[in-house]
Amino acid sequence: ETVIFADKLMYTGFGMATRAGISIAVDDMLITAQKTEIIADAEKEVQEIEQQYTSGLVTQGERYNKVVDIWGRAGDLVAKAMMDQLGVEPVMDWDGKTREWTPRMDKKTNQPVMQESFNSIYMMADSGARGSAAQIRQLAGMRGLMAKPDGSIIETPITANFREGLNVLQYFISTHGARKGLADTALKTANSGYLTRRLVDVTQDLVVTEDDCGTTQGVYMKALIEGGEVVESLRERILGRVCANDVIDPESGKVMSPANALLDEDAVEAIEAAGIDEVKVRTPLTCETRYGLCAKCYGRDLGRGSPVNVGEAVGVIAAQSIGEPGTQLTMRTFHIGGAASRTAVVSQIESKSNGVVRYAAGMRYVTNSRGELVVISRNGEIMIHDESGRERERHKVPYGATLTPRDGDVVKAGQVLATWDPHTRPIVTEYAGRIKFENVEEGVTVARQIDEVTGLSTLVVVDPKRRGSIQARGLRPQVKLLDESGGEIRIAGSDQSVNITFQIGSIITVRDGQQVGVGEVLARIPQETSKTRDITGGLPRVAELFEARSPKDAGLLAEITGTVSFGKDTKGKQRLVITGLDGVAHEFLIAKDKHVMAHDGQVVNKGEMIVDGPAEPHDILRLLGVEALARYICNEVQDVYRLQGVKINDKHIEVIVRQMLRRVQIVEPGDTRFITGEQIERAEVLEENEKVEADDKKPAIYEHMLLGITKASLSTDSFISAASFQETTRVLTEAAIMGKRDELRGLKENVIVGRLIPAGTGLAYHRVRKRQAVAAELAEGAVPAEEAPIGTESQEQVA
């Protein structure tokens, strides 16, 4: 019956596809009429920027960035207008008299009645069968900006599309991208396959071994908001999870979902309707099952929509779910033919909903002479609350932005909350006074750069490594502010004078002796020109995260909570001191060319970023803990995939992170058999601690270690699995020297020795077999009852 059913299904499918008559024709590519005016507007804007550049108002880099931005936006507008036009069409009626199709008119408005379009190309993309908006945009919109082989964007876009046809020059520009795509594809497929192999290897022994581990721990989940956009709603994040404690309706106080209940579609809908902002859910990270995972911490089996079964090999599923899109993504560069898929730079924040503006506690600002509020905090945030005081949206506001509404103002949806220049980062003064330059010497610490085109000159701070003499290298160009009597202005509430340091590359916009007001810009730091963000940067990024590599030029996190001050500089380094609340000072030496985000007298919290740069995962784990690390890795990996429109469930990434954290380092052995500094599996330490605590002795204290996936695979307890992965001779010799014993817990070891794998029905088979073996031994009286082995360990030793 099944075969016949499948056959009928196939014939029905083909029959319907034939009747639908979907084909592809040039006439289906409708070019929007707005295209010409959008392009004309963009050209006008570019002309304005060119004029600003000739009059010296913007630098070469800024001009390039802004031009690329304008064209990027124009391309998006054309694409949107085109999709809007493709998406609807008038309803047509057959006129018997004239014997032709005429549009049906609405009697009230006298406008044609519209319906969703039956355009073949639109239906193909809209149904998700093949093609995407990005490809239609090249057929009927404009091809847009293209990238050079080195990844930088060519600033003259291709305004034509494939229906209009390209001219010779446009075709030539396109060839870069096409060639790059082909080369990338060939190189990346191998990379992606290797990532999948490492992921499978690190998680292959993770199987659901019990129903509930009984933990009360979990992680708080809330909607992911980036740049004011809800990237992932709360419902998406908690659907199919198990809640760790009761979810209570804030208005009625009733329990909506009891602890340990699976959150299905209905429950999630109710939670969202009640306006609950965050829910504590169980996660593989906090699961207390020793070997494997429990079904409650994993939640829903994503393939079936029901709670996961005991015996499911969730590790391999997670590895394949992350690895497989990587294989697709590598092709993605090729599909869009090198059309620069760079996101337009944000330069303002608009509110998405009506409500009351609230500034977060960390927001600090000053009012300048024009009455504008200028942000001087690095981690300021604006929130919009609705009438009942619930947070509706939250936006990060960069340093130097201008705030439009004040705290407590009522705003409408679409109102601008803050604006800033996305291409430069300003240095703003918090005090008014007369400028006094220190160590700003032309030809030594600063260079006067004259723009060839405009003939105007600016002062730019030079890299100390490029300065001639040794003395010059130690100088830090900075500004002091003087009051009317010529005395130095001091920071409020301290005896330190106001010191503003210019970092390398700053373009100084003030003159010596100039009078400045509060909130005025003293210098601008240009942001680097944009390269295309493509998964080419993405796949290595995912591998880097899972390998837990320290990024080069990593940022620095504050070791303790305390007050920042600057010590005496040593050669090439600046000394940053954080004095804790207990008066203990921590010193950091930071390279001169690094951008310090904290300023003199600022209070920073433990784990807060004080030197700009990518975060170091090991530091996050040490200072902020397992949950913060998991959140960081999850969000970073998701960012890479989300950029390509690939959805991966967070659970899969959490499963991998659990495996990266499975080893611990002994800090204090207590009365256990371990030694200080030893690195062992967490499960082993927990078992030993339980034994020791049962005898009222002192348990071992340990700290988590973060291992990359390759390292984690090689340092697993099973030498058979490790030897079949990489560095076979080393693994086997070490195992032989240490006299290791392989318990055959994972899938790989069992496949290699030719046994049934301990997953699915195999798990039950091994359990029954072990029970029988133990019962037989007990019957013979060979083993005392309390020493009888239980659990999933196999008692067979592998020779």
Say whether pLDDT at 786 is over 50: no
Chosen domain end from 305, 338, 357: 305
**Same-domain check for residues 129 and 219:** no
SS3 annotation, 359-378: ECCCCCEEECCCCCEEECCC
Residue 392 lies in a domain: yes
pLDDT digits (tens, 9 = 90+) for 169-203: 989 888 887 887 777 777 777 888 888 999 999 99
As beta bridge partners, residue 418 has: 349, 403
As beta bridge partners, residue 679 has: 665
Say whether pLDDT at 336 is over 70: no
Lowest mean pLDDT, pick from 529-538, 546-555, 648-657, 733-742? 529-538
CATH number at residue 252: 3.90.105.10
Overall size of the chain counted in residues:
799
**Same-domain check for residues 666 and 768:** yes
pLDDT of residue 785: 47
Rounded Cα gap, residues 47 and 67, in angstroms: 9
Chosen domain end from 98, 115, 142: 142
For tokens 């229906």, the residue is 163
Other C-beta atoms within 10 Å of 255: how many? 13
**Same-domain check for residues 678 and 763:** yes
Contact between 499 and 480 under an 8 Å Cβ cutoff? The reply is: yes
Rounded Cα gap, residues 267 and 256, in angstroms: 8
Contact between 22 and 422 under an 8 Å Cβ cutoff? The reply is: no
Q: What is the mean pLDDT of residues 313-325?
A: 90
pLDDT of residue 229: 65
**Same-domain check for residues 113 and 218:** no
CATH number at residue 60: 1.10.132.30
**Same-domain check for residues 352 and 301:** no
From residue 122, give the alpha-carbon distance in Å to each of 27, 89, 656: 12, 11, 39
Residue 486 lies in a domain: no
pLDDT digits (tens, 9 = 90+) for 619-652: 888 888 888 898 889 888 888 788 777 888 989 9
Residue 125 lies in a domain: yes
As beta bridge partners, residue 415 has: none
Residue 362 lies in a domain: yes
In sequence order, what are the residues at sequence separation of 6 or more whose Cβ sits closer than 8 angstroms to the Cβ of residue 443? Answer: none
Q: Please name which of 673, 668, 705, 704 lies closest in space to residue 688, comparing C-alpha atoms.
A: 673
pLDDT of residue 797: 37
Other C-beta atoms within 10 Å of 405: how many? 19
Residue 554 lies in a domain: no
pLDDT digits (tens, 9 = 90+) for 353-378: 788 888 887 777 888 878 888 887 77
pLDDT of residue 782: 57
Contact between 228 and 395 under an 8 Å Cβ cutoff? The reply is: yes
pLDDT digits (tens, 9 = 90+) for 410-464: 888 888 888 887 777 788 887 888 888 887 777 777 877 776 666 667 778 777 6
From residue 294, give the alpha-carbon distance in Å to each of 209, 282, 285, 657, 795: 6, 10, 11, 16, 22
**Global confidence as pTM:** 0.71
**Number of domains the chain is built from:** 4
CATH number at residue 396: 2.40.50.100
**Same-domain check for residues 354 and 298:** no
**Same-domain check for residues 292 and 372:** no
Residue 430 lies in a domain: no
**Same-domain check for residues 294 and 353:** no
**Same-domain check for residues 7 and 92:** yes
Residue 548 lies in a domain: no
Backbone angles phi, psi at 229, to 5 degrees: -90, 140
From residue 168, give the alpha-carbon distance in Å to each of 106, 147, 171: 47, 17, 5
Q: Which helix (H) or strand (E) holds 664?
A: strand 663-668
**Same-domain check for residues 135 and 6:** yes
Rounded Cα gap, residues 398 and 393, in angstroms: 16
Output the average pLDDT for the chain.
82
**Same-domain check for residues 133 and 223:** no
Tokens of 120: 């073949």
Q: Exposed (0-12), middle (13-18) or buried (19+): which is 773, by Cβ within 10 Å?
A: middle
- H helices of 375-418, in order, are none
Tokens of 542: 């995912």
Task: Tell me the residue range of the domain where 301 lies.
Answer: 209-305
pLDDT digits (tens, 9 = 90+) for 771-785: 999 999 888 875 554
Q: Please name which of 44, 87, 90 lies closest in space to residue 67, comparing C-alpha atoms.
A: 44
Residue 733 lies in a domain: yes
Chosen domain end from 277, 305, 333: 305
**Same-domain check for residues 292 and 398:** no
- H helices of 108-211, in order, are 120-126, 133-140, 168-203
